[in-house]
Structure 1
């Protein structure tokens, strides 16, 4: 190998994939040994974590991914995918349009929730409820949104209790520690005390517990949510392509937005 070739081959370095003619290995595993042997959830874990999960770990991760698949056309990402398809673009572009709006406000709450939980654990010193109460009080005083709690559509998000029950079962089986579930519940209780009403945990708060309990760092919460929601985006984009329609906007034909500018006027 010449020095220039060595320099070129060292330009990108990865522990994820090794490939040469006739051979593809992911994290050391030959692709032909993985095909038909592991499922897609296990493959996600392998790619992100470097090794294969236990069946119990894969089951818990899969539950979180199933829970976030879709929330209907009232969700901006889904609505955007459907509108994009009526503009005559390809399904890949419609999916990309949807994914591109999954940011801090729509799609990022899980990442924010896990970071918040972890900050509470770091300061808890054995008293999680007190640490949660202090963290919630500080966040509210600063006007900071506490991600993972409350839902604009569901009084109680039906996905969250089931996900937490699965975490409890996994903790009882020794698959996870259950500490982040304890933190999340302490945050929920602290919010209720501070607000005077219950603000239930939502799917973002619950999936953040699962991702964190399984050892995923907070920034990956958003990516994992996007993987999950992309399934719903794909389904809606394809369905819209079958229904047809051209240039469908956010409002039905004949409906108008509210204009709040100057009344009609003419130049002097």
Structure 2
């Protein structure tokens, strides 16, 4: 059989079709980025293995510790989070645990779950302009905030609809500052994030960074690309999604909707009315 180009596919064509630099397998052999699995097991932690697979290199201890703290901070935010609620609801509908988890993960989009990616991109932009154009971070931060407000958009990574001050901010920020002081990371993106936070202050009103903002600082400092940063958040939140879906399945209740019975969602449509005669079938 020939392709539409007339080229006869070869064995090399077939093996190159899904070529990968991530994993090599052969009968009795598995290697992750070149490291035999039997050497990885027991020697490389799960978080370090995540870094190895996604970036191609084993992390330093400092990178591993920052990454682990950030992943732990993002694991869960309770059943009011749409991703968690969606997974719990799905778990009561007779689907498998994997389907319930997938249901929750699939809710993580630009609005719920995407702010970290957007904040990494914002930090990258600020640092790039600061270093290439010599513009002060404070001015760039004010311009970025004005741009978001002009578009009616939230500044990603700052403020929280539930927490006046996100309890995950301070411990992660402290770890980042300690890493900067040791010379483990540059501190360039930390400076940009703090400049944004200061620019958002209005008198007594403060809009501190949230988990997405402080996580974005970590990921940007570690050189993680914006979209991969979202992937790492999804990986982290999958832990909470799994735990909630499993708990809901263990409860054994069937078909739980968004409201407990007998509560019903408010109806805001037309009042009860009859179908007009013109739309009724003719009487034989």
TM bucket by the smaller chain? over 0.9
**Correspondence for 2:10 among 4, 9, 14:** 4
How far 1:197 sits from its partner (Å)? 2.3
**Correspondence for 2:79 among 67, 73, 77:** 73
**1:151-186 deviation line (CA, Å, top 9, x unaligned):** 111110000111111100011111111111111111
Secondary structure of 1:24's aligned partner: strand
How far 1:196 sits from its partner (Å)? 7.3
- Counterpart CA distance in 2 for 1:252 and 1:4 is 60
**1:33-87 deviation line (CA, Å, top 9, x unaligned):** 1000010000000001101001111000000000000100000111111111110
- Counterpart CA distance in 2 for 1:123 and 1:3 is 48
Question: What is the root-mean-square deviation of aligned Cα atoms in Å?
Answer: 1.4
Counterpart residue number, 1:40: 46
Is residue 138 from structure 1 mapped to residue 144 from structure 2 by the alignment? no
How far 1:223 sits from its partner (Å)? 0.5
**Structure 1 length-normalised TM:** 0.96
Counterpart residue number, 1:200: 208
**1:139-159 deviation line (CA, Å, top 9, x unaligned):** 211222211111111110000
Q: Kindly name which structure, 1 or 2, has the bigger radius of gyration based on alpha carbons.
A: 2
- Counterpart CA distance in 2 for 1:6 and 1:49 is 26
How far 1:227 sits from its partner (Å)? 0.6
Counterpart residue number, 1:26: 32
Secondary structure of 1:192's aligned partner: coil
Counterpart residue number, 1:17: 23
Secondary structure of 1:74's aligned partner: coil
- Counterpart CA distance in 1 for 2:209 and 2:170 is 8
**Correspondence for 1:115 among 100, 104, 121:** 121
Counterpart residue number, 1:174: 183
- Counterpart CA distance in 1 for 2:204 and 2:270 is 42
- Counterpart CA distance in 1 for 2:43 and 2:238 is 24
Is residue 236 from structure 1 mapped to residue 244 from structure 2 by the alignment? yes
Paired residues in the alignment total 266
- Counterpart CA distance in 2 for 1:167 and 1:99 is 28
- Counterpart CA distance in 1 for 2:118 and 2:9 is 45
Structure 2 unaligned spans of 5+: 1-7, 277-284
How far 1:131 sits from its partner (Å)? 1.2
**Structure 2 length-normalised TM:** 0.91
Counterpart residue number, 2:279: none
